[in-house]
Amino acid sequence: MLASKKLGTDFHQSEKQTLFRFSALYILLTIIIISVFSFIYFELQKDLMLQQQKSTLQKYSKELIENLKQLHKNFDKTQIYPRSDKFESAIFDNEKKLIFSTTKTKLRLDKILYLENETIHLVNIPESYYLGARYIIVKVKDDKQWLEQTKKEIIIFGIITFLFMLTIGYILLRLFLKPMRDAITLLDEFIKDTTHELNTPVSTIVSNIEMIDRSSLDEKLLKKIDRIDIGAKTISNIYQDLTYLTLGNKIISNNEDIDIEQLVLERVQYFTSLALAKKIKICTNIIQNTILYADKFKISKLLDNLLSNAIKYNKVGGEIVVSVENKKISVEDTGIGIAKDNISKIQERYKRCNKSSGGFGIGLNIVSTIAKEYNLKIDITSKENIGTKVSISW
Amino acid sequence: MVKKTVLIFSLMFCFANATVYEDNCIKCHKQFTPSIDKYFYKYLLIYSSETDMKNAIISYLKYPAKETSVMSDAYIDKFGIKEKSKLNENEIKQAVDVYWEKYKVFGKLK
């Protein structure tokens, strides 16, 4: 989300999810790559240290072999194993059976030079098996200086690489998002320009129709005027929706206590002429009046979109029931309904599940945006070819 | 009762083995220099483990040859190759077991 804001793009939920997944995957891969390289570097440093210690251990081993040789020659006189304060040692026969060891730790003979339990081991095979010793192990304690140094290097290198890869990832993200951002900006700009140009003529039509003295007109002309009224109101609604959508984030809310019953009746009255054109009957069912603290224009927009959709997707001669009860408004129609799979996607911007009716697919997205702003809960229940019920509760 | 019987039989078995070794090995070797333990360490130097060493000694006792001897050429030139053992397989094995136990390094180092 932060990234999308920084990039100056208002992304949809699914796009945000994709961005989040891409970022998570990228970071995970970066960490894996750094870990693999760190491991390889660590192993190389360990090998280097072992090679550096090898000559010292070989010297100790030679010293031990020489002492074993002397002991072998004089075994009938002395049986004291040659010890040294510089190293520990052990001898094994050719069946890897322990002959003698200066320590009690278990030793391995499958490697020549290795580090185990913080001790460096060297396995040597002498030319002659003094006292039967085929394998001679000498071992010294690891001072761990190399380990501290390697750890420090890995941490510094890891952080630098991680930050570098993050920068690269951010640049890549910007590159990948550019086409998507351009497309959304283009669409928004187009709608903004179009709506601006529509505003003046539509307002003129609507205000002039309201000013006509209907009593002086004959029935035929009145019908024509009604049709113009419906058409103008439809365009006016679309204009307001698009304006809200493009400027929505910049509109400052002017919250107040709204009498929901009054607002519902007002908006139903406004849509009556549109509903009558499709022979749709709008019933209001005020069970209990309720108050909502919000911006009146926005809640009006929310209701307009619910009513507009209920008319748009209703059957000719259908019915709409608008109910108001404690902290709840619901609009129920007898229209085409929404398929079960589409219910969750219906609130996305530009999403239309039925292309036979007009519209841009922005109605429920506006409802959703307003609902989110005021923490209103939207509940949609629908059955295909039976109808849809949209409930707003708080 | 059972324990006592097992102990008596074990002691008798060891004694019998020791007798084979004493009668057939020590009897001759005590007349020579170097002493019998020196041969043991010569074998140990080459064969390392108990199994390999015992097999090498048994093989040499059954089929003595210059090529399979662990002693130096100078020694062989002076003393020659020993005669083939007249003991049977089991007796040789018993004698070698006693020989190993007597001079082995395991458990003796301090």
Q: Read off the pLDDT of residues A218-273 as tens digits, 9 standing for 90 and up.
A: 888 888 888 888 888 778 877 777 777 766 555 667 888 999 999 999 889 888 88
Could you give the C-alpha distances from A229 to A124, A297, A359, B17, B52, in angstroms and in order?
A: 103, 21, 18, 128, 113
Are residue A259 and residue A378 in the same domain, yes or no? yes
Residue in chain B closest to A126 (alpha carbons) equals B45
Give SS3 for A10. coil
Report the gap between the CA of A162 and the closest CA in chain B (Å). Answer: 56
Could you give the C-alpha distances from A248 to A43, A253, A370, A373, B25, in angstroms and in order?
A: 58, 10, 9, 11, 112
Could you give the C-alpha distances from A32 to A27, A35, A152, A172, A339, in angstroms and in order?
A: 9, 5, 19, 19, 43
**pLDDT tens digits, one per residue of B79-88:** 888 888 888 9
Which pLDDT belongs to residue B15? 54
Q: Do A99 and B106 touch (CB under 8 A)?
A: yes
B46 shares contact with chain A (CB less than 8 Å): yes
Question: Which residue matches tokens 């009006």?
Answer: A300
Mean pLDDT, chain A, whole residue set: 85
Q: Do A130 and B45 touch (CB under 8 A)?
A: yes
Residues 6 or more apart in contact with residue B96 via CB below 8 angstroms = B54, B57, B58, B61
Report the gap between the CA of A128 and the closest CA in chain B (Å). Answer: 6
pLDDT of residue A209 exceeding 90, the answer is no
Question: Could you say which of A80, A110, A143 is where a domain stops?
Answer: A143
Domain assignment present for residue A310? The answer is: yes
* Count of other CB atoms within 10 angstroms of residue A354: 15
Which pLDDT belongs to residue B82? 85
State the CATH number of the domain containing residue A388.
3.30.565.10
Residue in chain B closest to A134 (alpha carbons) equals B48
**pLDDT tens digits, one per residue of B97-106:** 999 999 999 8
Nearest to A79 among B44, B48, B109 (CB): B109
Residue in chain B closest to A135 (alpha carbons) equals B48
Q: Which two tokens stand for residue A194?
A: 């179009």
**pLDDT tens digits, one per residue of B40-63:** 999 999 999 999 999 999 999 999
Instruction: Please give the average per-residue pLDDT across A129-142, as a whole number.
Output: 94
Could you tell me if A68 and A131 are in contact, meaning their C-beta atoms sit under 8 angstroms apart?
Answer: yes
Q: Do B48 and A133 touch (CB under 8 A)?
A: yes
Domain assignment present for residue A69? The answer is: yes
Interface test with chain A among B36, B42, B44, B52, by most A beta carbons within 10 Å: B44
Q: Rounded distance, CA A169 to CA A150, Å?
A: 27
Crossing angle of the two packed helices B36-47 and B50-62, in degrees rounded to 10? 120
Question: Could you say which of A112, A128, A143 is where a domain stops?
Answer: A143
Kindly indicate the confidence band of residue A2, based on its pLDDT and cuts at 50, 70 and 90.
Answer: very low
Of A98, A135, A142, residue with least CA distance to A116: A142
Report the gap between the CA of A88 and the closest CA in chain B (Å). Answer: 15
B52 shares contact with chain A (CB less than 8 Å): yes
Q: What domain range includes position A45?
A: 41-143
Report the gap between the CA of A152 and the closest CA in chain B (Å). Answer: 44
Instruction: Please give the average per-residue pLDDT across A173-198, as a whole number.
Output: 81
Are residue A389 and residue A259 in the same domain, yes or no? yes
Look at B65 and A16; give whichever has higher pLDDT: B65
Total of domains in chain A: 2
Q: Which two tokens stand for residue A211?
A: 């000013």
Domain assignment present for residue A198? The answer is: no
Which pLDDT belongs to residue A7? 43
What order do you get walking across the sheet with A135-141 strand by strand? Answer: A98-101, A88-92, A135-141, A119-124, A113-116
Residue in chain B closest to A72 (alpha carbons) equals B41
Q: Which two tokens stand for residue A177?
A: 């998002």
Q: Rounded distance, CA A335 to CA A386, Å?
A: 6
B45 shares contact with chain A (CB less than 8 Å): yes
Q: Contacts of residue B72 in chain A, CB cutoff 8 Å?
A: none
Question: Could you say which of A119, A143, A167 is where a domain stops?
Answer: A143
Which pLDDT belongs to residue A8? 43
Domain assignment present for residue A290? The answer is: yes
Give SS3 for B69. coil
Asked if residue A179 has a cis previous peptide bond (ω within 30° of 0), the answer is no
Which pLDDT belongs to residue A347? 59
% residues pLDDT > 70 (chain B): 84
Mean pLDDT, chain B, whole residue set: 83
Which pLDDT belongs to residue A215? 83
Paired sense of beta strands A281-286 and A319-325, if any: parallel
Which pLDDT belongs to residue A76? 85
Domain assignment present for residue A16? The answer is: no
Q: Do B45 and A128 touch (CB under 8 A)?
A: yes
Give SS3 for B41. helix
pLDDT of residue A62 exceeding 90, the answer is yes
* Count of other CB atoms within 10 angstroms of residue A16: 14
Interface confidence, given as ipTM, is 0.82
Residue in chain B closest to A95 (alpha carbons) equals B49
Q: Rounded distance, CA A260 to CA A281, Å?
A: 21
Q: Do A95 and B50 touch (CB under 8 A)?
A: yes
Instruction: Please give the average per-residue pLDDT across A12-17, as a whole number.
Output: 68
Kindly indicate the confidence band of residue A3, based on its pLDDT and cuts at 50, 70 and 90.
Answer: very low
Are residue A139 and residue A256 in the same domain, yes or no? no
Instruction: Please give the average per-residue pLDDT across B36-41, as a whole number.
Output: 89
Which pLDDT belongs to residue A9? 45
* Count of other CB atoms within 10 angstroms of residue A61: 21
pLDDT of residue A337 exceeding 90, the answer is no
B108 shares contact with chain A (CB less than 8 Å): yes
pLDDT of residue A18 exceeding 90, the answer is no
Report the amino acid identity of residue B107. Answer: G
Q: Do A75 and B48 touch (CB under 8 A)?
A: no
Q: b/e string for B3-36 if b means 16 or more Cβ within 10 A?
A: eeeeeeeeeeeeeebbebbeebbbeebeeeeeeb
